[in-house]
Chains A and B, each alone.
Chain A
Amino acid sequence: MSEEKKSPYIIPIGPTHPALKEPVMFTFRMDGEVIRDVDFAPGQTHRGIEWMGMRRNPVQIVHLTDRICGICGVSHTLAFSRAVEQVAGIEVPERADYIRTIIAEFERIQSHLLWAGVAAHELGFDSLLHLTWRVREQSMDVIENLTGNRVNYALVQVGGVRRDIVPEQHRIIEDCLSTYEGLLGKLLDLFLHDKTIAMRCRNVGLLSKDDALKLCTVGPTARASGVNVDLRQDYPYCAYGDLDVRAILPDQHLGETRGDVYDRIVVRLLEVGQSCGIVRQCLSEMPSGEITAEPKLAKLLAICKKARGEAIGRVEAPRGECFHYVVMEGKEAPTAWKVKASSYSNLMSWIPMLRGEQIADIPIVVASIDPCLSCTDRVAVVRSGSRSILTKDDLHRLSVEKTRRLQQ
């Protein structure tokens, strides 16, 4: 056997594999246990949600956006609603903004706890998975109480929210917040002071600040590498303008930023505490008033039908910036609707993170950016049964062609 045939050898991981919670195809070129090079192919869970959206009115699409992601449903509904509200010129009542903020922060709490459990599982630490998911239940219960369901909340509607937070619910929320504030120290202790976790996560999956900026990473992935980005601080929306939200960077807790998996754990756990603070502040400052700009849905549909223009809705989802682009041209359905989920910006950071690491690090490094692949997969090109890869040039050519077509 010739030398180049033996080394490097190739290990395929995916499209389905225990290390991956959602399908994506990795191809690793290995040298012993060390990763020499890595390539990945997303697009295994394309569902055509945008296509469905272009055949529906905004009131219907809001509930479709809820299903783009099972974990960050509020972020997608919020981003879409904000885009449509800008196009249609709907002014959202202040109370609705506060309720939106509260539910978005609860979503962040449960999403980060879910991630922490998954990360522990990827390390083979199942007890920690069970513990974090057990304490996560309390936030799920509160979300259930506020919205009616555990996932697919259907709380946000164009123009406001569909359910109010009544005084009896304040106590439930307050109970949950104080539990989490008490638990946070324990969770930090269990995750950060455990020698085995530190051995597996410190200096693993490094992403330098330069790379993080170059690859346009967002959310906790970027913040763990020391990039000071957070939409809630940079472009406040909903009630965040009234609150004092500062991006959480790992050096605030550890005194230094390395950009490894450990830093990503720190950022996410600290954000749980931050979210508790935000919810508490929202509860105490929440103004009274209407919860929606237009309670009559038939009227809302008419307003949306008349709307013309284009707008972008941006929201800081638990995984980073989530972005919806909507064009409406006086028809019932939007002319264009594009979704850029936060994982889309983060996926490319896998390449520098994984290069030079070991096989054992693949699960935790892949999980460390908290990838949400079904949110990300927007395009699948299948022609006569065979898949093809489109390069940047191809995409540019196609978009020029489309513009020409529209100009005619």
Chain B
Amino acid sequence: MALLPMFPELLKQLFRTPATNMFPAKYLPPSVTGFLKKVGAGQATLVPPVQTPPKFRGKIEYQRDGCIGCSLCVKVCPSNAIELLEETKRIRIWVDQCIFCSQCTDICPKGGLRMTDAFLLADEDRYSENLIVE
């Protein structure tokens, strides 16, 4: 097999376990929402996704109480995803526009912003409650 070095490699791999992660199930279920409902009802098991790394930058978390309304985060947000609400002096974050750079969490003088591990953020509506943090 000097001319085709891939063959031995392939035959060896045939007897090893596959490298892919089977999230959310081994085979694509006919309906993903139906499958998730089943998981919720305890009739099916969900293969967990790959672990997020330490200090992962996921969906943002906002502590409203500590906020002083300094709007520094608004100033550094590259995608203008943060809005300062004038009447309450608090911010609103549009997660669908967020690019997860974590710049606002760095600049916040009160440490009121934090990146969580949540990454399953797909939604049909960009203004859904899931995608607005305030």
Q: Give the B-binding residues of A (Cβ under 8 A).
A: 56-57, 59-64, 66-67, 125, 127-128, 131, 134, 137, 141, 144-145, 148-149, 152, 154, 162-163, 189-190, 193-196, 297-298, 301
Q: Residues of A contacting B100 with CB < 8 Å?
A: 149, 152, 154
Q: CB within 8 A of B102: which of A64, A128, A154?
A: A154
**Bound-complex Cα distance A190 to B7 (A):** 10
B6 lies within 8 A of A297 (CB): no
A127 lies within 8 A of B99 (CB): no
**Bound-complex Cα distance A67 to B101 (A):** 11
Interface string of B1-33 (1 = CB under 8 A from A): 011111001100000000100000000000000
Top-6 shortest CB links A-B: A195-B3, A60-B78, A63-B101, A63-B78, A144-B53, A154-B101
Which residue, of A190, A196, A297, has the highest number of chain B Cβ atoms within 10 A? Answer: A297
A148 lies within 8 A of B2 (CB): no
**Given A163-B55, A190-B5, A195-B3, are A148 and B99 neighbors across the interface (CB < 8 Å)?**
no
Q: CB within 8 A of A66: which of B53, B55, B101, B107?
A: B101
B75: interface (CB < 8 Å)? yes
**Bound-complex Cα distance A162 to B4 (A):** 46
A56 lies within 8 A of B78 (CB): yes
B72: interface (CB < 8 Å)? yes
Closest chain A CB from B127 CB (angstroms)? 22
Q: Residues of A contacting B75 with CB < 8 Å?
A: 57, 301
**Bound-complex Cα distance A59 to B103 (A):** 9
Q: Residues of A contacting B72 with CB < 8 Å?
A: 297-298
Q: Residues of A contacting B4 with CB < 8 Å?
A: 194-196
A148 lies within 8 A of B102 (CB): yes
Closest chain A CB from B107 CB (angstroms)? 5
B106: interface (CB < 8 Å)? yes
Can you list 27 contacts pairing A with B, beta carbon distance less than 8 Å? A57-B75, A59-B76, A60-B78, A60-B103, A61-B78, A63-B99, A63-B103, A67-B99, A141-B53, A145-B53, A148-B54, A148-B56, A148-B115, A149-B56, A149-B57, A152-B100, A152-B101, A154-B57, A162-B106, A163-B55, A189-B5, A190-B5, A194-B5, A195-B4, A196-B4, A297-B72, A298-B107
**Given A145-B53, A148-B56, A301-B75, are A128 and B103 neighbors across the interface (CB < 8 Å)?**
no
B46: interface (CB < 8 Å)? no
Q: CB within 8 A of A148: which of B5, B19, B55, B107?
A: B55
Q: Residues of B contacting A64 with CB < 8 Å?
A: 78
Besides the contacts A60-B77, A154-B57, A193-B2, what 9 more A-B pairs have beta carbons closer than 8 Å?
A59-B76, A60-B103, A63-B78, A63-B101, A131-B9, A144-B56, A152-B99, A195-B4, A301-B76
Closest chain B CB from A298 CB (angstroms)? 6
Q: Residues of B contacting A297 with CB < 8 Å?
A: 72, 76, 103, 106-107
Which residue, of B3, B5, B9, B72, has the highest number of chain A Cβ atoms within 10 A? Answer: B5
Q: Residues of A contacting B19 with CB < 8 Å?
A: 134, 137
Q: Residues of B contacting A66 with CB < 8 Å?
A: 101
Q: Residues of B contacting A190 with CB < 8 Å?
A: 5-6, 9
A194 lies within 8 A of B6 (CB): yes
**Given A63-B99, A194-B5, A297-B106, are A148 and B57 neighbors across the interface (CB < 8 Å)?**
yes
